[in-house]
Structure 1
Amino acid sequence: MFHRVRGAAVAALAAAALLAPTGAANAADAAEDPGVAAPPLRDLAAESGRFFGLGISGPMLDQPRYTAIASTEFSSVTPGNEMKWGSVEPTRGNLDWTGADRIVDFAEEHDQEVHGHTLVWHSQLPNWVANGDFADGELRQVMTDHVTTQVGRYAGRIARWDVVNEPLNEDGTLRDTVFLREIGPGYIADALRAARAADPEARLYINDYNTDGVGAKSDGMYELVRSLLDQGVPLDGVGFQSHLILGQVPSSMRANLQRFADLGLEVAVTELDVRMQLPADAAKLEQQAADYGAVVGACVAVTRCTGVTIWGFTDADSWIPPTFPGQGAALPWDENYQPKPAYHAIVEALGGDPAPEPEPGACVADYRVTNRWNAGSTVDVRITTDRALAGWTVTFDLPVGESVVSSWNTSLTQNGTTVTARNAAWNGTVGAGGTLGFGFQTDSGAVYGAPVPALNGTVCTGAANT
């Protein structure tokens, strides 16, 4: 049963996430950290017969902090790039399984399933496929040989395959790809039949994005898979990538998953992340937690939803910032490998206990007017925190009539008398016992008592006289 995350608890967790201590360098540290729930996500998901998966980054397997979490929290892994055609056969006939083998070996070492990703996709193709000069019927043979070779190599070791990835346009029609042009619409059925022949036990999926809610694209997917089933084409499931924007989980997601399940198919959330405009703050983290909880809850509510995979787990290794400049913080663990409110929302959606109310960290503020003249003043604010910060928001009130006209070392806004100062892109990380600082100029030289700033929702002590 899906448990809705309580607003007050999430708000407190959001503030705590920004004040979270660094560390958790290994599984033992994570187990001792009260911010990390036990049992791990994989065990919570298993209680309802589901997996909880990770889109894994092969290069990150050299990082002990990464592997400590990747190996313990997740029951399924999906190679991010290592099984794509351009990775395994960059030049025709020259196969390189190094990256894919490493991830499969890692998964087996930690009793995890592997979700193979992906066999036939228009992107990240080797040039000889994307721009090849093929004779009639040649690409069909090349494609089926590729599917047969890759699926056959890992037969018995891969639980599910994304056989065909992102075949649709936004209006639900088939995307113009080299496969559609050279082979025709039947390429999808050909690829699925080849995969079934190469490994009869693997579950075969079609996977796409922007199909999470009912709409033109998901309608197109529905008609496509229904047509394939009517033809007797082997198809076991549909994957919903769910690369979402903060606050935009479709209200029809559960119903959409259910209609595919009603066709007798498995459904799975295969690439979940929820991105936001940076910098993150407590309110955004609260909304993100609600979004993660809603998506996981939708899966839990649909009997044939086999599980959820998040596309990376730490903001230190996310595809979002380079792809969507100015956006990020999309994953349930922050850049310091600390769980965010989204993590706790996932735990609760999977049936785990709600997170305890966190204790706020202490802070000491020094609010100092450094210069004053008839028409204005300059102010320096310094705050020392007893907890490490992965981002900060400072709020305080100015007297009526006192307006900020410029600021530095912060992104600062004023609403009435309330001033909100957030970290800049470069100064959000502050170590435990460290000090953050910023300044601003006002348009009044009036003398007033120093306000009491709050850091990430916690009222500080020690405000200096002005």
Structure 2
Amino acid sequence: MAVGAGVLSIAAAATLAVTAPGTSSAASGLGGVAEASGRYVGTAVDPGRVNDGSYGTILDTEFNSVTAENAMKWDALQPSQGQYNWTNADTVMRRAEANGQMVRGHTLVWHSQTPQWVQNLSTTQLRQAMVDHITTVMTRYKGRIAHWDVVNEAFNDDGSRRQSFWQQKLGDSYIADAFRAARAADPSAKLYINDYSTDAINSKSTAIYNLVSQFKQQGVPIDGVGFQAHLIINQVPSNFQQNLQRFADLGLDVAITELDIRMQTPPDAAKLATQKSDYQKSFAACWAVTRCKGVTIWGITDKFSWIPDVFPGQGAALLWNESYQKKSAYDGSVAGMGGTVPPPTTTTTTTTTTTSGNPPVPGACAATYRVTNQWQGGFQAEVRVTAGSSAITGWAVSWTFGNGERITQIWNATAASTSGAVTARNAAYNGRLGAGASTTFGFTGSGTPGTPTATCATA
């Protein structure tokens, strides 16, 4: 978890129509491996760090899901009653949507990082404020966020209810009330309860198991359980998979929502080797359970991990070190998914011979157009360009919108026209394709999408 200013908690504060795993345009790296089985690998993102080193590049190319680290928590969205600040949350959403990444919403009801004005409300006021906040936030992102952590960290380690202000003022019913409000606000979102130290079969995870079992019997709308998995090297629970499976057997989805595996610093070869094995075990536990939807790593680089601030002398918990170099834990994660390590992502700055004035030459490439997401009044599409039997140095893809659609944003290509007959041409870095090689570009659009036929030509 990344903690907000002034908050030092062991607990973790820790997707368009909704992007589903397997439809991302960011299908390289870890996300690309995950998509082979219809799952996701995500990360927690701080929009203020995207220009630091390789942070933004890794964010955009390695993951097919993102979670706002702090930008969607109550103190960030509604610091004063009725006054919302959407800036950072919207920034996270726009970047994810531009990359075709699923978004997990985190978190609506939590005892931490909730403003004092909320905690000072009377019982009646507090219940209404909870419903209002859930309704306002989820309505804004309706159809665009796939999974929501509705209630976060509601239990103590011994399985008793955490005596938060929520529990003390509203009693046991507040959790069910929160889920009912969430379902009413966005019926398409998958609703999760999320907690830490629940990875093993223990008193805490069993208490949550009993709660969600009751919810299923009582018709309380709940779709999934999130396991934060803030672990320590050499301490991955031996019954992690078994624990995930028992929740799945209730007819619920499960997900590892905030994975990191820390060690005493400084790291050394032995610790890093153990960490690699532990990441592999954690991913394998999820991949062995059909209803485990994916894994979210709680951060990108050790440089910005929450752990050293909360556990002095510990850290080095993520897949990239402080210099943005991949650690062996990355390979362990891929192995846990049953995949092979993808080749490094490279960007070429070679200038191609493509110019907007060159006439296209037919027959040397092919294009496949598909709508990946749809929501009220808009949609997202992806076009895959594949070279033929010979290498090409530039391409142009053409299609005609027949339903009044209009491009609102395009990436990895340029288009002179945004409606009617459209021709999209390669960017400076993705025009050169070897024989049989492919690249993709995407765009968001307004209107109701049709199914136009795309044609490709070299340029």
TM-score (norm 1): 0.67
Q: Which amino acid aligns with 1:69?
A: I
Select which of 339, 346, 352 maps to 2:333: 346
Aligned to 2:59: 70
Residues 223-252 of structure 1 show CA distances to partners (whole Å, capped at 9, x for unaligned) of: 111111111000000000000011100000
Q: What displacement does 1:274 show?
A: 0.4
Residues 281 and 127 from structure 1, CA distance in 2 versus in 1: closer, same or farther, beyond 3 angstroms? same
Tell me the secondary structure at the aligned position of residue 172 of structure 1: coil
Task: Tell me how far apart the structure 2 counterparts of residues 60 and 41 of structure 1 sit (CA, whole Å).
Answer: 20
The aligned counterpart of 2:97 is 108
Instruction: Write the mapping of 1:207-218 to structure 2, written as runs, cut at 5 A.
Output: 207-218=194-205
Q: Separation in 1 of the partners of 2:149 and 2:167?
A: 18
Q: Tell me if the contact between 2:28 and 2:61 (Cα under 8 Å) persists in the aligned partners.
A: no
Q: Are 2:37 and 1:48 equivalent residues in the alignment?
A: yes
Cα offset for 1:133?
A: 3.9
Question: Aligned to 2:104, what secondary structure does the other structure show?
Answer: strand
**In the aligned structure 2, how far is the partner of 1:88 from the partner of 1:51?**
26
Partner of 2:276: 289
Displacement, 1:95? 0.8
Q: Does 1:94 align with 2:94?
A: no
Count of aligned residue pairs for this structure pair: 317
Identity of aligned residues (%): 56
Name the CA distance, whole Å, in 1 between partners of 2:319 and 2:135.
36
Of 134, 137, 158, which residue of structure 1 is paired with 2:145?
A: 158
Instruction: Calculate the aligned-residue CA RMSD, in Å.
Output: 1.3
The 2-side partners of 1:226 and 1:174 are apart by 16
Does residue 196 of structure 1 match 2:183?
yes
Residue in 1 that maps onto 2:420: none
Mapping 1:36-435, distance limit 5 Å: 39-63=28-52, 65-130=54-119, 132-134=120-122, 136-353=123-340
**Divergent runs of 4+, >4 A:** none
> Partner amino acid for 2:258?
E
Give the letter for the 1:66 counterpart: Y
Q: Please, which runs of 5 or more residues in structure 1 have no aligned partner? A: 1-37, 357-466
Q: CA shift at 1:65, angstroms?
A: 1.3
Equivalent residue letter for 1:115: R
Q: Assess if the C-alpha contact under 8 Å between 2:28 and 2:342 holds in 1.
A: no
CA drift at 1:39: 4.4
8 A contact 2:53–2:324 mirrored in 1: no
- Residues 1-20 of structure 1 correspond to what in structure 2 (within 5 A)? none
- 2 CA distance for matches of 1:133 and 1:260? 35
Superposed displacement of residue 354, structure 1: 5.8
Q: Work out the CA distance in 1 between the residues paired with 2:99 and 2:113.
A: 29
User: Is there any run of 5+ residues in structure 2 with no aligned partner, and where?
Assistant: 1-26, 344-459
- Partner AA of 2:108 in structure 1: L
- What is the CA-CA distance between 1:353 and the residue it aligns to? 2.2
Q: CA deviation at 1:355?
A: 8.9
- Tell me how far 1:204 sits from its aligned partner: 0.3
- When structure 1 is superposed on structure 2, of 136-145 and 55-64 the one drifting more is 55-64
Provide the C-alpha distance between the structure 1 equivalents of 2:256 and 2:218, rounded to a whole number of angstroms.
Answer: 26
Aligned 8 A contact 1:51 1:306 in 2: yes
CA distance in 2, matches of 1:304, 1:185: 28
Q: Decide whether the 8 Å contact of 1:344 with 1:355 is kept in 2.
A: no
Superposed displacement of residue 91, structure 1 = 1.1
| CA distance in structure 1 between the partners assigned to 2:28 and 2:175 by the alignment | 40
Look up the SS of the partner of 2:198 in the other structure.
Answer: coil
The one-letter code matched in structure 1 to 2:244 is L
Counterpart contact for 2:143–2:188, Cα < 8 Å: yes
Output the CA distance in 1 between the equivalents of 2:54 and 2:325.
Answer: 11
Secondary structure of residue in 2 paired with 1:137: helix
Contact kept in structure 1, 2:215 and 2:222, CA below 8 Å: yes
* Letter aligned with residue 129 of structure 1: V
Q: Which amino acid aligns with 1:178?
A: F
Distance change in 2, residues 1:139/1:354 (3 Å):
closer
Kept in 1, the 8 Å contact 2:279–2:332? The answer is yes
Please give the secondary structure, in 2, of the residue aligned with 1:224. helix
